[in-house]
Copies of this chain bind each other. A is one copy, B any other.
């Protein structure tokens, strides 16, 4: 509901196995949390099938609309791994076998390497490869698009390798735990939100059985403003404040 300070990010998850519900995508949750902690606003997550044209469409759309794009999945050597082709198509690039990636793959597999392994060295011809001593394979970046593997443990390692490049002014957050329903406080909340357009106020009813009925969240980049907004909410909502009370900027 509020203006977001730059930088922004979009996540493109590639995988039929996510869309069929066979695999629970834990990568986008990890990336949303880590990017939030780095002060980056994730504004879009999209899950698409293993199809070049569909990947290309969303990667192009996201690359034009957000500061950073991170893709997850579709980077192996089999027929259903088409993310590199999708990213190349998004930027109307060709593909090339990258000598640095080829060497890393040959070193890893050794003399009994199956030739198809080298398919993983084929990248968009505008790709930059980022090497690190801790990782066998380089991180692949094409303009503002970072191509990460679908394997959660590899994705985390690779993200940590380059996370410093995303760091921005951190968010200041705060919460209020309330024992009320939403309708009773909706007009007041809306009024405070209008006066604090630079602080995002969220209202989240808790599932039955939770210790409080409603959690109000605040998030912004200016600590003074978040604290001022939090004080105003706490004053106006005091009669419903749960014993858990307030957290964060109070």
List residues of A whose CB falls within 8 A of some B CB.
1, 16-25, 28-36, 41-51, 76-82, 109, 113-117, 119, 151-153, 181-187, 189-190, 193, 200-205, 207-208, 217, 219
Contact = CB atoms under 8 A, between A and B. Distances in A.
Contacts of A48: 43-44
Contacts of A205: 76, 151
The secondary structure that dominates the A interface is mixed
A113 B183 CA distance: 8
A83 to B, nearest CB: 13
Contacts of A47: 28, 44-46
A186 B119 contact: yes
Contacts of A185: 78
| A1, A19, A36, most chain B CB atoms within 10 A | A19
Contacts of A50: 1, 202
Contact of A16 (B20, B79, B202): B202
A108 to B, nearest CB: 11
A20 to B, nearest CB: 5
